Structure 1
Amino acid sequence: MSDNNYDAIIVGSGISGGWAAKELAEKGLKVLMLERGRNIEHIKDYVNAHKEAWDYPHRDVATQEMKVLEPVLRRDYPLNESTFGMWASHQDSPYVEKKRFDWYRGYHVGGRSLLWGRQSYRWNVEDFEANAKEGIAVDWPIRYQDLASWYDYVEKFAGISGNRDGLDVLPDGIYQPPIPLNVVEKDIAARVKKAYKGSRHILNGRSANMTQPKPENNRVNCQYRNKCWLGCPFGGYFSTQSATLPVAMATGNLTVRPFSIVHRVLYDKDKKRATGVEIIDAENNQTYVFNSKIVFLNASALNSVSVLMNSATDVWEGGLGSSSNELGHNIMDHHFRVGAVATVEGFDDKYYFGRRPSGFYIPRYRNWGNDKRDYLRGFGYQGAASRSGWNRNIAELGIGADLKQAISEPGTWSIGASAFGEMLPDHSNRVYLSKTVKDKWGLAALEMDVEIKENELKMRKDMKDDLAEMFERVGLKNVYGYDGDYAPGMGIHEMGGARMGRDPKTSVLNAHNQVWDAPNVFVTDGACMTSSSCVNPSLTYMALTARAADFAVQELKRGNL
């Protein structure tokens, strides 16, 4: 291929972009992956992977200067010394909050695959059918069975640890042995099962942290360091760098170009096809054009929407995919920061090994089976039990020998969990291009007009009260339910904006993730989601991407693209 002509262009290098690169390159296409940020090489560029808190000038906490520079990142855990520079800067890439929206972005090769929480759950049968049954938004154009074999496919390659629990609400997958529950979690799980007669479950978390090595991919199993967000030199968790990118590069068919900000997809209105993309080089501010037969948008949900909005504006004022009037609408997240904590007695002689990267999961039980609530859909809990450490409050012990003795012994056992609730798609929850605010490169920033609605507010009451009631019922002490500070975006599970559907009049994409108005443009990141379920979405992005890539190659061979 010449320097600017390829079979396929992929915009973005995160979880879905990495999968697109692997699948398309393995199938023989010459592929260009464009990433707006810097390159990060596996192992070599994980500069903080072996550091501890005391290795940082301010012990890995945010400085006052950092808080001033990054007013959005300071709202939650992303702002610290160890990952500073990994999350996108609000200074260079601002956005406008018509309503509060906490947008945490990873602008570098690998994207948020280096920073994600790794919880990996399949959607269930009902998740794909609920919209149609309840008259919400539009019907998904696919069903669970359309993705089942692709879930198998991506789980085998990625390396997901988990247990096969035989529950319809949380379908089983292809798993390595689970990360074990600790002694307290096992005990509480047994108590909950007995108290609720098997209707509620505390399960091993299903995580993209391997418990067995994959030598064929040069990946070693998890070392229980719990430093995943610093990059894993062992390849113990799934990321673009450790898993999909090496395979794609080994084919000789992939070119990766960092510092490439895709401004728009180029569109031939006569052929009704995309011809490639236009980029701005983030280092020299020059504009370049790359041509291709197909384009995969995987820039993360809201960035993919932004690219579409900037494309084909000479044909559609709202951009490519806007003919349905749904582009930029139906934005979703998982609402959370609500749950309960408690102390656990009777295990002072027990401890646990290592620093696990995953804890337990309580799958959805509300509006499931015979349970009916005054809201739609449901939620699940993610949590863990642990013993407090040296930094617990021991001020009353003073200093000297008493202090030394106190910090050498573990504290009390506690258990806690946060609920993740499904957010319904709603046309009024939207993003759009700002007419006044631009980023460092002169591109229009996104404006966020998204909020949780009455359905989510009703659900949050159960999300808090249910877990507190559960802990009290099984005999835990000092139970405290909480409903903390949450705004859309905080879940870092942004979805929607270019939803799949059955009708080009009401959706942006068809059943194969193709833009209705440009069938050689595929969107397989979070933008494509028609609803949000209550489980973490990344595994579904992987399956959708692998499925769409397979279809795209077949259609290319048939001459349909």
Structure 2
Amino acid sequence: MEDILYDAIVVGTGISGGWAAKELCEKGLKTLVLERGRMVKHIEDYPTMNKDNWDFKLGGQLSSKEKKKFHTENRKWAPGEDNAHFFVNAVDHPYEETKSFAWMRGYHVGGRSITWGRQSYRFSEIDFEANRKDGHGIDWPIRYKDISPWYDKVEKYIGVNGEKLGLKQLPDGEFLPPMQLNCVEQDLQKSMKTKFDDGRLLTIGRSANLTGVVEDQEGRTLCQYRNRCSRGCPFGGYFSSNSSTLPAAERTGNMTLRPNSIVHEIIYDEASKKATGVRVIDTETHEKLEFKTKFIFLCASAMASVGILLKSKSERFPNGLGNDSGALGNGIMDHHFQAGASADVPGYLNKYYKGRRPNGYYIPRFVNLDQKTKRKDYVRGFGYQGGASRSDWSSAIAETSYGKNLKDVILKPGTWRIGMTAFGEVLPYDENKVRLSKDKKDKWGLPLLDFDVAYKDNEMKMRKDMVNEAIAIFERAGFENVHGYDTQNGPGSAIHEMGGARMGHSPKNSIVNKNNQVHSVPNVYVTDGAFMTSSSCVNPSLTYMAFTARAANHAAEQFKTGEFS
């Protein structure tokens, strides 16, 4: 064991880990940040950031051989030549599936904060009260008022652009100027206002791309509308750990960052009833190490954090750290999506748009909000994300013309198309779970995770409405060739996996308390998606960041009072 006693250890460097590192280091705590993957330095390690599609050997697609390595990920999509280096494949990093689950992972400094979709929405009071009101899952121990100031803090720092709407189901935030809807999207916005009386509306997406200046963001400049975000942005135009929170932590002089370090166990001391450190395997030397600390922030990503807790066994916790309730690994959620509609849009042939906007339009949830919008077949709801654009030169592939005719086809924009896909809430079923494999291990000798997760009747009935309402919106707008679709992708596909170490009032049915502390081991905090008690229908990353900032503030106060000594 290393002799240094750190004030704090943060496990993971993604959306949550970066925020934990920043907050703890800025509060003066000597913090060790452990990342299981390789080092990725901002700008320096973005090899494809400035490439055009024609610079790639296969036009951006992976070869069939390479795609097979991503066999689980390919249920949704396989990474391309431009960003495959920021994803791990399921051949080299396997897991088991009692029921099908697509687990997307990025093992490197920054994690999926480099490749995330940047959509940033707040949970509402409706979301925090839903479990208690409809009886699905356990009650959240906090409400919107408890987390609202932390949403403010995070939004101001990362830079979220958007439009204020005054909706109870989608609280407004601290926004930079909104990106602009294009002409087709603006007309759909007007159509929805006049042709529906249930409060549904269309707005520009709320995304963590800089459209204005934010404070304390050294090295970040405005979004350049290149839409190459998942390759890493040399401008820092969107929020990532690499461009923002990790550099902030490093500037304090209090952070020690150690990549290539697989944390596989939290060390529990029976006498003090506290965690005293972590056990690590160095991926380069295979050396087994231990690091000591006063307290721990577990931010390895939802399923990985649950796995670490499950592997952290002792005489006190034979079934995993903090697992007095038996709930550890239960209540795994994702969002179910890829159900919606697409259509042709007549006219607008004298209109175009500038740049490649890295954002779409958003239609907030409009079902099951009151008696008027109540659905009899299912509970909770969904929102839509979509976009309109003109077909580009790829339409020329089907042409057989040559010379001037071909040149004209390539240079002229095609007709307008529009589409949308719904993101629906998945209920927190206890039987949707992840466990440690009984007999399969990875190359480090650690047990694989085994997923047993499925959609149920509520999700299936909601999906029918997702398709039908999308069709209705497009048809009433006068669009043509409207087609509904439902790709029936399974859990994991939305890359919003969460749950497994849920927050609750009591250690009898939950793992962490209202401050994200493990009930029975309060110097361990879990602040990535594992703590989620329900899923809402909005993208969850903003919520992870807000809860992480809140928990880090709590931990720093506890540390200063000697609670973790």
Q: Deviations over 1:236-290 (max 9, x none)?
A: 0000011101111000000100000001000012211000100000111110000
Q: Distance in 2 between matches of 1:78 and 1:301?
A: 21
Q: 2:254 — aligned with what?
A: 253
Q: Distance in 1 between matches of 2:561 and 2:16?
A: 25
Q: 2:386 — aligned with what?
A: 383
Aligned-pair identity (%): 54
Q: 1:288 — aligned with what?
A: 289
Aligned length: 560
Q: 1:73 — aligned with what?
A: 73
Q: Distance in 1 between matches of 2:397 and 2:20?
A: 52
Of 526, 543, 546, the residue aligned with 2:546 is: 543
Q: Distance in 2 between matches of 1:269 and 1:62?
A: 50
Q: 1:149 — aligned with what?
A: 149
Q: SS of the residue aligned with 2:336?
A: coil
Relative to the length of structure 1, the TM-score reads: 0.98
Q: Deviations over 1:457-476 (max 9, x none)?
A: 00000001101011111211
Give the direction of change, closer, same or farther, for the CA distance of 1:465–1:322 in structure 2 (3 Å limit).
same
Q: Distance in 2 between matches of 1:70 and 1:430?
A: 23
**1:439 CA displacement:** 1.2
Of 399, 415, 422, the residue aligned with 1:419 is: 422
Q: 1:22 — aligned with what?
A: 22
Q: Is the 8 A contact 1:213 1:219 kept in 2?
A: no
Of 479, 499, 502, the residue aligned with 1:499 is: 502
Q: Is the 8 A contact 1:78 1:87 kept in 2?
A: no
| Counterpart residue identity of residue 6, structure 1 | Y
Relative to the length of structure 2, the TM-score reads: 0.97
Q: 1:307 — aligned with what?
A: 308
Q: 1:111 — aligned with what?
A: 111
| Counterpart residue identity of residue 283, structure 2 | A
Q: 2:362 — aligned with what?
A: 361
Q: 1:490 — aligned with what?
A: 493
| Counterpart residue identity of residue 370, structure 2 | G
Q: Is the 8 A contact 2:15 2:241 kept in 1?
A: yes
Q: Deviations over 1:16-36 (max 9, x none)?
A: 000000000000100000000
Do residues 237 (structure 1) and 245 (structure 2) align?
Answer: no
Q: Is the 8 A contact 2:157 2:216 kept in 1?
A: no
Q: 1:557 — aligned with what?
A: 560
Q: SS of the residue aligned with 1:129?
A: helix
**1:135 CA displacement:** 1.2
Do residues 451 (structure 1) and 447 (structure 2) align?
Answer: no
Q: SS of the residue aligned with 1:293?
A: strand
Q: SS of the residue aligned with 2:492?
A: coil
Aligned residue runs from structure 1 range 302-451, under 5 A: 302-370=303-371, 371-373=373-375, 374-392=377-395, 395-451=398-454
Q: Is the 8 A contact 1:6 1:292 kept in 2?
A: yes
Unmatched 5+ stretches in structure 2: none
Q: SS of the residue aligned with 1:348?
A: coil
Q: 1:527 — aligned with what?
A: 530
Q: Is the 8 A contact 2:67 2:78 kept in 1?
A: no
| Counterpart residue identity of residue 123, structure 1 | F
Q: Distance in 2 between matches of 1:440 and 1:182?
A: 50
**1:365 CA displacement:** 0.6
Q: 2:50 — aligned with what?
A: 50
**1:335 CA displacement:** 0.3
| Counterpart residue identity of residue 73, structure 2 | L
Q: SS of the residue aligned with 1:41?
A: coil
Aligned residue runs from structure 1 range 79-158, under 5 A: 79-158=79-158
| Counterpart residue identity of residue 95, structure 1 | Y
Q: Is the 8 A contact 2:298 2:524 kept in 1?
A: yes
Q: SS of the residue aligned with 1:85?
A: helix
Do residues 515 (structure 1) and 518 (structure 2) align?
Answer: yes
**1:198 CA displacement:** 6.5
Q: SS of the residue aligned with 2:324?
A: helix
Comparing 207-216 and 138-147, the one that deviates more: 207-216
| Counterpart residue identity of residue 354, structure 1 | G
Q: Deviations over 1:283-326 (max 9, x none)?
A: 11110000000100000000000000111333222110211110
**1:3 CA displacement:** 5.8
Q: SS of the residue aligned with 2:23?
A: helix
Q: Is the 8 A contact 1:341 1:479 kept in 2?
A: yes
**1:118 CA displacement:** 0.3
**1:369 CA displacement:** 2.0
